[in-house]
A and B are shown apart, each in its own frame.
Chain A
Amino acid sequence: MPSLIQLLQSVVDGIANGAILALIAVGLSVIFRLNKFVNVAHVDLATVGAYATLFLVSGFLPVFWLAALAGIAVVALIGYLSHRLVYRRLDGQRSITLIITSIGVAFMLRYLVTFIWGSNQRSFDLPLMRAVRFGDIRISPYDLTIVGIAVAIFVGLFVIMRYTSLGRALRAVADNPSLARVSGLRTEHLLTIIWVAASALAGIGGILLAVKTVITPYLGWAMLLPAFAAMIFGGVGSIGGTFVAAIIIGIVSEFAAMYWLPTYRLAAIFGVIVIVLLLRPQGLFGTKAVAK
């Protein structure tokens, strides 16, 4: 018989896993909303973020958080370049063309990482820490940090999108780029900002994931399916929806492993998603227009 403590522990662990997923998935979702394609290479940016940080922390920037910031900047730069040099030039092409192109970019990034750092697993040289106890609930200090960072970022995104002129402009571009352009908004400039921000968030997600796990060239790739699920589940383009969906996915995954079978995590996640989508095809917070 599962105890209440076990249940709460699963919720806590699910939130920590979901927080990382949310950071990676939100960029995928926003870019899908804007450019109407699944940017497969987005999850590989998470991998690049981890490796760039590892490289910097092992050499030029031995202070981890400084190296992480620089790593995020590297990923943002790669996101900017991929937008300017690849995807912008394919603007107006069919979605399938863009998806295939993004698969190509994903492979290029992954094999570049493999070429430079090899296939062997690596990890950040961070000290292991015992759990912080809240009664019988045990939370890793790293998980606490991860959830704190994710919540802070999503609150920041919410405030920017809701209460600033930049946010209003970004929402206008996301809703209808053509109308935004004729209204005098610098849509190209705004699109670039979105690509850079989405890439940076993937980089943050990748670094936090690497803190919890190990760094391999497939670090981000393993998150593609859950990130895609969070995007659809939360509603394409919805920042808050992606966050909530990712947290639910994290919790459902932990429940499945704890109370059903660990090998059925994905089955449980997609089972829940199918049920929700049958009731709300546009996802939790999506709009019907986007769903179509």
Chain B
Amino acid sequence: MQFTRRDVLKAGAALATFAVASPRNVWAQGSEEIRMGTLCPITKAGSIFGPGMQKAMEYAAADINALGGILGGRKIRLFSEDSQSEPDAAVRAAKKLIEINHVETVLGTWSSGVTMAIAPIVMQGKVVNMNVSGTTDLRDMKKDDWIWPVGGSNISYGNMMGTYAVKQGYKKASFLAFNNPSGLTLGEEFKRVFEKAGGTCEVIVYNPNQPSYRAELTRALASKPEVIALGSYLPDTTILLKEWYVMDQPVKWIGPIWAVSPALIQAVGKEASEGIVSIGAVPNIDSPAYARFQERYEAEMKQKVLANPFAAVAYDMLVTCALAMEASGSSKAEDFRKKIREVSSPPGKKVFGLDEALKAVRAGEKIDYEGIGGNMDFDETGEARPYFASWVAENGELVLKGRVDG
């Protein structure tokens, strides 16, 4: 078979027509469905959170679609990718979501490294990112309403852990910090709060993936602290606690919920974990919408909502974006990002349920959406700080002790 020049020109013209017709302008303007992307840590370090976060966003999309959709009946279609908890994989996935799937959002990124890596891509691609990353760089950077941290910054966590330690009356502390921005920021903020209250604190920084942290532990215990605080992750915390148990030197422990979780208790056993304190974001238990979320999440995921501090807030991410779309009258990220703060932060009528919120927005009311994961009140830096609580490991279980206010 031979091709003439005319055939080639015809094929080229057809391809050009397809190329012009296919990209995001068609989807954004004419299509019924609204394309929203999720980029959760389904595998590797964040895999304890990612599947639950993605599921929560699927619930939110299903709830919105069950209520008839938004913007005059348009349904939400989710495109989900796995960040693999790593920046390079996340960058590839974000590009795929933006360039191939033409999404308006990239929601649910976890770990500071991942979110910082995709930040320029989402801003350049003009899509909204909501994340549960805690680095201070995210607070300080110029985000122009494209990027919204909602899981609690490392400063918030360090502050809460320090506040908790001070309230317990501790005067001498050591802090073991994982050598990354998250661990270092947690350590700096903990030390600041602790020493401001009159205590002393030594921060010891360590690298990950070691067969032993015995030397680090020995250094942390050298000053005979009453408490060791952690800016760590689950694997290194597990090894640290195992080695501490072997050393048999009494000390109290405080760590963030992503490190001091039920998985840690399971890994080290009830004897080694007894009394360890976990500080973490806690869902908005007072929200009338929380109970329904809890029921279906726990039934389907076989995981307590409280064991995944980011699941409920992931639900809020998608709902907040949908409310902002409704308020702006547009599904385009460039338009609705400017309404995100308006529909979720004071001043405004506090609304808890999705149905109630959508009706109020359609009626032109100014609302302050209270999520099921947090209050979604964004401060001047664009960060929404969640509620915090403390848990204590008792007889092999993490027992919720109540809210911590810093």
Q: B215, A262: Cβ atoms under 8 Å?
A: yes
At the interface, is chain B mostly helix, strand, loop or mixed?
Answer: helix
Q: B248, A212: Cβ atoms under 8 Å?
A: no
- Docked complex Cα distance between A50 and B52 (Å): 27
Q: Which of A9, A128, A257 contacts B269 (CB 8 A)?
A: A128
Interface centre among B204, B216, B234, B235 (most CB of A within 10 A): B235
Known: A120-B263, A212-B212. A114 touches B239 (CB 8 A): no
Judge if B17 is at the interface, Cβ distance under 8 Å: no
Judge if B400 is at the interface, Cβ distance under 8 Å: no
Chain A neighbourhood of B246, CB < 8 A: 128-131, 138, 140
* Per-residue contact bits, chain A 1-38, to B (CB 8 Å; 1 contact, 0 not): 00000100110010011001100000000000000000
A139 — nearest CB in chain B belongs to which residue?
A: B246
Q: Which of A118, A138, A212, A258 contacts B219 (CB 8 A)?
A: A258
Q: B204, A213: Cβ atoms under 8 Å?
A: no
Q: B206, A214: Cβ atoms under 8 Å?
A: no
Interface centre among B209, B216, B272 (most CB of A within 10 A): B209
Q: A131, B209: Cβ atoms under 8 Å?
A: no
Q: B263, A121: Cβ atoms under 8 Å?
A: yes
Judge if B211 is at the interface, Cβ distance under 8 Å: yes
Q: B219, A130: Cβ atoms under 8 Å?
A: no
Q: B47, A118: Cβ atoms under 8 Å?
A: yes
- Docked complex Cα distance between A266 and B246 (Å): 25
A-B residue pair count with CB separations less than 8 angstroms? 91
Shortest beta-carbon distance from B310 to chain A in Å: 16
Q: A10, B235: Cβ atoms under 8 Å?
A: no
- Docked complex Cα distance between A114 and B214 (Å): 28
Judge if A74 is at the interface, Cβ distance under 8 Å: no
Interface centre among A20, A120, A257, A265 (most CB of B within 10 A): A257
Shortest beta-carbon distance from A50 to chain B in Å: 12
Interface centre among A16, A127, A209, A213 (most CB of B within 10 A): A213
Q: A138, B248: Cβ atoms under 8 Å?
A: yes
Q: A20, B267: Cβ atoms under 8 Å?
A: no
Judge if B65 is at the interface, Cβ distance under 8 Å: no
191-236 of chain B: CB within 8 A of chain A: 204-207, 209-212, 214-216, 218-219, 234-235
Q: A212, B211: Cβ atoms under 8 Å?
A: yes
- Docked complex Cα distance between A129 and B243 (Å): 10
Q: A20, B211: Cβ atoms under 8 Å?
A: yes
Known: A213-B239, A265-B210. A10 touches B215 (CB 8 A): yes
Chain A neighbourhood of B204, CB < 8 A: 262
Judge if B48 is at the interface, Cβ distance under 8 Å: yes
User: What is the interface residue range for chain A against chain B?
Assistant: 35 or more
Judge if B271 is at the interface, Cβ distance under 8 Å: yes
Shortest beta-carbon distance from B85 to chain A in Å: 8
- Docked complex Cα distance between A222 and B207 (Å): 12
Q: A138, B271: Cβ atoms under 8 Å?
A: no
Judge if A44 is at the interface, Cβ distance under 8 Å: no
- Docked complex Cα distance between A212 and B242 (Å): 8
B42 — nearest CB in chain A belongs to which residue?
A: A119
Judge if A123 is at the interface, Cβ distance under 8 Å: yes
Known: A9-B218, A130-B245. A261 touches B235 (CB 8 A): no
A111 — nearest CB in chain B belongs to which residue?
A: B43
Known: A120-B47, A216-B235, A262-B204. A16 touches B267 (CB 8 A): no
- Docked complex Cα distance between A265 and B206 (Å): 9
- Docked complex Cα distance between A258 and B248 (Å): 19
Q: A131, B248: Cβ atoms under 8 Å?
A: yes
* Per-residue contact bits, chain A 206-219, to B (CB 8 Å; 1 contact, 0 not): 00010011101010
Q: B215, A254: Cβ atoms under 8 Å?
A: yes
- Docked complex Cα distance between A114 and B198 (Å): 47
Known: A263-B206, A263-B207. A128 touches B214 (CB 8 A): no
- Docked complex Cα distance between A262 and B48 (Å): 28
Judge if B109 is at the interface, Cβ distance under 8 Å: no
Q: B263, A128: Cβ atoms under 8 Å?
A: no
Chain B neighbourhood of A6, CB < 8 A: 218
A133 — nearest CB in chain B belongs to which residue?
A: B248
- Docked complex Cα distance between A95 and B218 (Å): 43
Q: A262, B239: Cβ atoms under 8 Å?
A: no
- Docked complex Cα distance between A265 and B204 (Å): 14
Q: B267, A121: Cβ atoms under 8 Å?
A: yes
Judge if B238 is at the interface, Cβ distance under 8 Å: yes
Q: B218, A209: Cβ atoms under 8 Å?
A: no
Q: List 22 A-B contacts (CB under 8 A).
A: A20-B211, A119-B43, A119-B45, A120-B48, A121-B235, A121-B267, A128-B246, A128-B269, A128-B271, A138-B247, A212-B212, A213-B235, A213-B238, A216-B235, A257-B215, A258-B215, A258-B218, A258-B219, A262-B215, A263-B179, A263-B207, A265-B207
Q: Which residues of B contact A (CB under 8 A)?
A: 43-45, 47-48, 179, 204-207, 209-212, 214-216, 218-219, 234-235, 238-239, 242-243, 245-248, 263, 267-269, 271-272
